Amino acid sequence: MNIKGFSSAAVSAGIRYTGRLDLGLIYSTTPAVTAGVFTTNQVKAAPLLIDMERLKQGRAQAILVNSGCANACTGAQGMEAALATSALLSSSLGIPDEMVLVSSTGVIGEQLNVDAFSSSMDRLVAELDEEKFEEVAHAIMTTDTVSKTVYRTVTIGEHEVNFMGMAKGAGMIMPNMATMLSFVVTDAQISFPELQESLRQATDRTFNRITVDGDTSTNDMVIAMANGTAANEWIDEENPAGRQVFQDTLEDVLKELALKIVSDGEGASKCITVRVCGAKEETEAEQMARTVANSNLVKTAFFGEDANWGRIIAAMGRSGVRFDPDRVDIAFGDVVLVRDGLAVGKEAEAAASEILKQKNIAVRIDLKDGAGCEEIYTCDFSLDYVRINADYRS
């Protein structure tokens, strides 16, 4: 599927390894309204600092993204390198430098190989094509095992509007915001303040609800570009119907990407939704769900397909949320394992063990203390997580 006015390209530039796609480009023929959300980590990689500054204008035309090197903790040299790659691209494309956003993922602390960019830039631009989003999604993979793209077409007013979203994830996944790279392009016509707010809300409800390992990266960003080619009525406060469709669709795209990231979490064999209800406040429900979803003991028990709810209640108990342990219910799928703080029995545990053999598992916790309800998405914690992360750089 193509998104009117956007094209993309990817090449093998040899930034860290040879023979794999590692440099991608997303390009809008006209300047697009562009918004971004960036990592909350205090340590921010050079490309993020550049993009945060450039996005104050709310416009961009190109995203240049590489894997293999994060260009984080690289000081003045890293900043110069990022600016140099941006200049190489803007010159090849014949657009102003400020219209280029740069993005990197890979190992922290190593300097960017600018030569790999300069020797590949003309080839990259020459490859531009309307149908190459999949190649870019491949080029940004690190320990991801599959590329992640989502496409949607909706109608706003009488106009067809298209969305393409891509993401990479795998490790260092506990947003807020952070966690991975994601790029969304749409031909919708929308104002910058609307797009920024819409992206912030959608990110909060999707990427900020997933966790793989509780670590937050230095490089992660979500960027949304909207070039207006669909010619729909402007999306703003005077167009509430259009705004709703846009918001729902963006959230839908990001949610699907977020779940793809979790299910491709490093070493993941299962997707787990931790839903906490009956909390006094939604924020408390979220806090508890997040603590459970980040517990190594809970996640290894899921890997072992062990209905070890004791680890869940122990994690709840250290979450900082006040609750009455004697009123808690815990269910796996439809099987209630714990009622009013007590084990239901061996039969329930046997039924729960069957549920744990599935790929997608819902953990439902009810505190019976209010109307607050939230969910967090995570994966299990496997031997492969350790293998991948013990070996990552070698």
Which residues form the catalytic set?
Answer: 179
Among positions 119, 283, 325, 334, the unique one binding a second copy when judged by CB under 8 A: 325
Subset of residues 28 to 47 that bind a second copy, contact rule: CB under 8 A: 40-43
Rg of the chain taking only CA atoms, in angstroms: 22
Using CB under 8 A as the binding criterion, the count of chain residues that bind a second copy stands at 62
Tell me whether residue 214 is exposed, middle or buried, using C-beta atoms within 10 angstroms of its C-beta: 0 to 12, 13 to 18, 19 or more: middle
* Shortest spacing between CB 79 and a second copy, in angstroms: 11
Residue (40 or 118) nearer to a second copy, CB: 40
Q: Show contacts with a second copy in window 151-170 (CB under 8 A).
A: none
Residue 107 lies near a second copy (rule: CB under 8 A) = yes
Q: How far is the CB of 137 from a second copy (least distance, A)?
A: 24
Q: What are phi and psi of 376, to 5 degrees?
A: -130, 145
DSSP-derived secondary structure for 347-360: HHHHHHHHHHTSSE
Q: For a second copy, which stretch binds (CB under 8 A), given 107-115, 131-139, 237-245, 357-365?
A: 107-115
Q: 379: how many CB neighbours lie within 10 A of its CB?
A: 27
Query: Binding to a second copy by residue 297, rule CB under 8 A?
Result: yes
Q: Is 48 in the site for a second copy (CB under 8 A)?
A: no
Reduce the DSSP state of residue 169 to 3 states and report it. coil
DSSP sequence for 274-334: EEEEEESSHHHHHHHHHHHHH-HHHHHHHHTT---HHHHHHHHHTSS----GGG-EEEETT
Q: Can residue 72 be called a binding residue for a second copy (CB under 8 A)?
A: yes
Question: Which of positions 181-220 make contact with a second copy (CB under 8 A)?
Answer: 213-218
- Rule CB under 8 A: choose which of 33, 250, 257, 301 binds a second copy: 301
341 binds a second copy (CB under 8 A): yes
**b or e along 100-136 (b: 16 or more beta carbons within 10 Å of the residue's beta carbon)?**
bbbbbbbebebebbbebbeebbeebbebbeeebbebb
Tell the smallest beta-carbon distance from residue 363 to a second copy (Å): 15
State in Å, rounded, how far the first CA of the chain is from the last one.
Answer: 37
User: Smallest gap, in angstroms, from Cβ of residue 84 to a second copy?
Assistant: 18
Burial of 64 (0-12, 13-18, 19+ CB in 10 A): buried
Q: Does 317 bind a second copy (CB under 8 A)?
A: yes
Site for a second copy, rule CB under 8 A:
40-43, 70, 72-75, 107-110, 171-172, 178, 213-218, 294-297, 300-301, 303-304, 306, 308-311, 313-318, 322-323, 325-326, 338, 340-343, 381-383, 385-387, 389-394
